[in-house]
Amino acid sequence: MGQQASLVVEVEIHAPVDIVREVFQDFPSYKEWSTWSIECADPTKEVNHLIDNEKLKVKIQNFKLTSTLLKNEPDVFE
């Protein structure tokens, strides 16, 4: 079996929440400005319909991770 690790990152962005949410949740456009990619683990789900504890597939260069969405509320996406 593989090892399991945990990573927590918190970043404060000085911009209106609705603008940050719009950019952050536009997963298909990440390739335009980032080396990361994020997509819903369940391909039938849309980002704006994700609920707490949904899984996300994250790829950072050669690393593939599964992330858990803790909250998806109008003022919080963590």
Mind listing the pLDDT tens digit for each residue in 41-73? 998 988 878 888 999 999 988 889 898 988 888
pLDDT confidence of residue 77: 74
Residue whose pair of structure tokens reads 């690393």 in the numeric block: 63
The answer to pTM > 0.75 is no
Mean pLDDT of the chain: 85
- Tell me the average pLDDT across 10-36: 86
pLDDT confidence of residue 1: 59
E-state strands within the chain: 36-40, 55-60, 63-68, 72-73, 76-77
First to last CA, the chain: 28
**Cα separation of 60 and 67, whole Å?**
12
